Amino acid sequence: MWVVPLLIAIPVFIGTVVILAQKTGKGALQVTSIPGSQVYLDGKLIGKTPLCKCETADMIPVGDYAVRLVPSSGNFLPFEEKITIYKSVLTVLDRTFGNGASSEGVVITLTPISDKNASQFFSISFPDKAQVFLDGSPVGKTALLLPNISPSDHEVTFKKEGYKDKIIRLRAVKGYKLSSIVFLGISDAIASPSAVASSSAVPVVAKILILATPTGFLNVRASSSLSSAIVDKVNPGESFELVSEVSGWYEIKLESPADGVKTGWISSSYASKQ
**Where are the CATH 2.30.30.40 domain residues in the chain?**
205-273
* Burial tier of 181 (Cβ tally within 10 Å: 0-12, 13-18, 19+): buried
CA–CA distance, 60 with 85 (Å, rounded to integer): 7
Can you give the pLDDT at residue 186? 86
Whole-number Å distance between alpha carbons of 101 and 10: 21
**More reliable by pLDDT, 261 or 192:** 261
Per-residue model confidence as pLDDT tens digits over 150-163: 988 899 999 998 89
Contact between 174 and 19 (Cβ < 8 Å)? no
Are 39 and 46 in contact by the 8 Å Cβ rule? The answer is yes
Of residues 142 and 4, which shows the higher confidence score? 142
Calpha distance 156→176 (Å, rounded):
17
Instruction: Give the lowest-confidence range in 48-52, 90-94, 184-188.
Output: 184-188
Torsion angles phi and psi, residue 164, rounded to 5:
-70, 140
pLDDT value of position 24 = 65
Residues 78, 71 contacting (CB under 8 angstroms):
yes
What pLDDT was estimated at residue 128?
Answer: 86
Cβ neighbour number for residue 201 with a 10 Å cutoff: 9
Using DSSP bridges, classify how beta strands 249-256 and 271-273 pair: parallel, antiparallel or unpaired.
unpaired
- Tell me the CATH number for domain 205-273: 2.30.30.40
Cα distance between residue 151 and residue 174, in whole Å: 6
Per-residue pLDDT tens for 78-130?
Answer: 888 888 898 888 899 999 988 767 888 899 988 888 898 999 999 988 888 99
Question: What is the C-alpha end-to-end distance of the chain, expressed in Å?
Answer: 46
Rounded-to-integer distance, Cα 176 and Cα 181, Å: 16
